[in-house]
Amino acid sequence: MTVLDQFRLDDKVVIITGASSGLGVSFAEACAQAGADVVLAARRADKLTDTAALVEQAGRRCLTVPTDVADPAQCTALAEAAMKEFGHVDVLVNNAGVGTAVPALRESPEQFEKVIDINLNGSYWVAQACGRVMAPGSSIVNIASILGITTAGLPQAAYAASKAAVIGLTRDLAQQWGHRKGIRVNAIAPGFFESEMTDEYAPGYIERMLEERVVLKRVGAPAELSATLVWLASAAGGYVCGQTIVVDGGVTIT
């Protein structure tokens, strides 16, 4: 096996949450191009059709499962649907997430709880459901954020708290499951990438961050983040366990 061969996901089954838009679409396409069959999960089931088409264009099989990750029962049903269709689950990408930019003195309990329910609790419920059926050698990749590590000039208490918690969850699941179950658990902390969340930022915010905080002076390309995902999911990342890989163009060093 060559070094490049180790990055393949041939005949693996990958579950991706939040697969209806943004980075989830890029993750699905990249995993399919690396040889995996893909299970797509999102609340907006109608928007999964386009993502499924990208997987199938890469020559791989695809299953779409409408899922609200905040509901533990739906997370269990997602893992069961994948097992029924493919017989195994090898990789989980916990990508589903929402964000708010509300000043802390004005954020309502409902706003805060919604972010925690999806970003943190949802990651846990899906990981739990998949951890029950995954075989040794499997991999979980949680999508955290640099806002779990640093700040970026916006009032994002709920989002930052949820992503910091995802990083802690990643470490704990890695130490629980790494030896006992043979499941590697890692996280990626993206910086500024185009997504539905960045579309909601105030005009000029991204430009200011690029000037003041991003060493490389540009937003990241989705393919750059997807390459990191494939590395962590594949045999190439086989000795990486419990880590949060920062992909941010240098934000966290400024």
Catalytic (active-site) positions: 159
CA distance linking residue 234 with residue 207, whole number of Å: 35
Alpha helices, H only, the chain: 22-33, 48-57, 72-86, 109-115, 122-131, 157-177, 196-199, 205-212, 222-233
CA atoms of 85 and 77, how far apart (whole Å): 12
Cα separations in angstroms, 19 against 7, 14, 95, 115: 22, 12, 8, 17
Per DSSP, the residues of 27-80 read HHHHHHHTT-EEEEEES-GGGHHHHHHHHHHTT--EEEEE--TTSHHHHHHHHH
- The rounded distance, in Å, linking the Cα atoms of 39 and 28 is 9
Indicate the angle between helix axes 222-233 and 22-33, nearest 10 degrees: 50
User: 38, 44, 77: which is closest to 59 by C-alpha?
Assistant: 38
- Cβ–Cβ under 8 Å, residues 127 and 173: yes
Residue 237 is given by DSSP the state G
